[in-house]
Amino acid sequence: MRIAIIGGNATGLAVAARLRRLSEKYKITVFEKGEVIAYGNCGFPYSLGNVIENSDELIESYPDHFLRNFNIDIRTLSEVIEVFPLRKEIKVRKNNNEEYIFEYDKLVVASGVSAVIPDIPIDYIDKSFVLRDFSDFSKIKEFIKTASPKSAVVVGTGFVGMEVVENLTKLGIRVSIIEKAERPMPWIGREFSPIISNIIKKNNIDCYCGEEILTPVNAGEGLKTTDGWKLDADMIIFATGIRPNSAFLNNKLLLDKKGYIITNKRMQTSNPHIYAVGDIASVNEQNIPFAGFGIRHAKIVANSIFGLNSRNDNMLQPYIMKFFEYSIAAIGMNEDILKKKNIKYSRIYTVIPDHVLYYPNPKNIFCKLLYDDKNGKIFGVQLFGKNGIDKRIDVFSVAMQSGMSVFELSEINLSYSPPFNNPMDLVNTIGRIAQNIKDFKLFIIAPNEISIFSDDNTLIIDIREKYETNKGMFKNAVNIPLSELRKKIKELPKDKKIILYCATGDRSYKAQMMLKNSGFKRVYNVLGGYIWAHYFSSTSCF
């Protein structure tokens, strides 16, 4: 059987390698448009910042390795320019413009995606870049080395854009960000945007949100934004999105509205002899451009060609990124998506240290979880902090993929030792909060919503100890420490709405139960407490 694979890198080569492990009879040929067959493009930003000092370490494999170890024919600098599904042929163009026809029995499309390249200001034609493949990376690396830029503009605040921002800043380059959306990193929950903006400011980075670059056609006009800001920069890096590499198919396979190849759960396209994998594939109307997904696609395709029954039934992907000393992670849907889908949801906020307080240097983890308060289905989770974010987001991911409810999270047994965790982990704490809200019909408030719930008939009580209030209090709050609350219960008005808060929401929960069990009917707890509200207080991006 002749198997042709369009595209190398992690996904295409994973298909090829597994096919060879399954059978020695296959004649496998991989066609790669570029010169480098496999590279770690996720590491590009860190190599720009010299975190990865030797760029050659990003090259993961070479054609002769695959020939020696797998007897696989790797053809670099070979672009597939047309597919003929009925004849089972592809047309290939070599870098010398020579073209030839190649016949196949099964075809795997792993052509991936390319960076979106917008219109470039005329003064920056030779100083504008994108960062997607090894060629893009090499151009930026060489420009930094030879031109020694002092300033840069990064357009877009997705994963690549923000990682580039951090690493250019660490090189001593003054960076400005331009983001079309109203806030940086719009994929994370809105509550997290102010703290991200604060990190940006802390590192002397200017951020222009709700802005786009104008593209003047006359030389000398420089770099301007839609709101009239004029920026001075030695280079521009565009990180404004991706587009599928599917034009060469000429609509001979079924594509979605964006141009991604529609597949079934076995990764078969509209033609049963052609498969699509990785970034180019759309399964269940979803496209997830992550390496792990592509490698799992590769296994499914190789198994299907071999005759094994494999399916892609899991479309959940956790996201995580490093931004300076912080980690930001998410999985599932955020509030904006849930609202667009008209899905009713409830929210839980909590703040908990990454390990026990008595062990040195505990760091807070901020967590927001969205769920169905009837059946406990978890819709999405967002995490922010310095340590332990990767561990927690992966636990939430496994819980969601296995169909666990939020109420079951309190029963998960997780590792514990003082340097690593608390006896009751953040994941367990989220589950306990959800269960308590359900069992005791508790009223809760988000940390940014006190003003919405407050009126003239509301009493706001800060139940922290007095010395803690030196760091600030919510407007119109009175301080009654938890240690004194029981003695003063009779002084509190039962005809008023009472809002309780502490540092994180834990002690105020205890106070809430105390008042509820003492006959108070309208008692609210501010989840996340004052720490959450303090950390996420700024609302300005610039």
Q: What are the structure tokens assigned to 402, written together?
A: 């296995």
Residue 541 designated active-site: no
Owner of token pair 């912080």: 326
The residue from 207, 367, 502, 541 that is catalytic is 502
What is the distance between the alpha carbons of residues 246 and 345, in angstroms, rounded to a whole number? 38
The DSSP annotation for 263-291 comes to E-TT-B-SSTTEEE-GGGEEETTB----H
Main-chain phi, psi angles of 470, to 5 degrees: -60, -20
For 308-334, b/e burial (b = at least 16 CB within 10 A) is: eebebeeeebbbebbbbebbbbbbbbb
Beta bridge partners of residue 207, listed in sequence order: 177
Which is nearest to 36 in space by CA: 52, 55, 54? 55
What tokens does 367 get? 């967590």
Report yes or no: 26 and 313 within 8 Å, Cβ to Cβ.
Answer: no
CA-wise closest residue to 9 among 25, 33, 45: 33
Using DSSP bridges, classify how beta strands 319-323 and 326-332 pair: parallel, antiparallel or unpaired.
Answer: antiparallel
Helix (H) or strand (E) holding 81: strand 78-84
Instruction: Give the separation between CA 467 and CA 473, rounded to whole angstroms.
Output: 11
Rg (CA), the chain: 27
Q: How many residues does the chain have?
A: 542
Sheet containing strand 523-526, edge to edge, reads 443-445, 523-526, 497-501, 458-462, 477-479
Query: Whose structure tokens read 């052609």?
Result: 274
Report the C-alpha gap between 273 and 301 in whole angstroms: 11
H or E element at residue 340 = helix 335-340
- Residue 167 CA to residue 45 CA, distance in Å, equals 6
CA separation for the pair 14, 295 (Å, rounded): 6
Structure tokens at 331: 């999985």
Half-sphere exposure of 242 (CA within 13 A, CB side): 21
Active site residues: 502
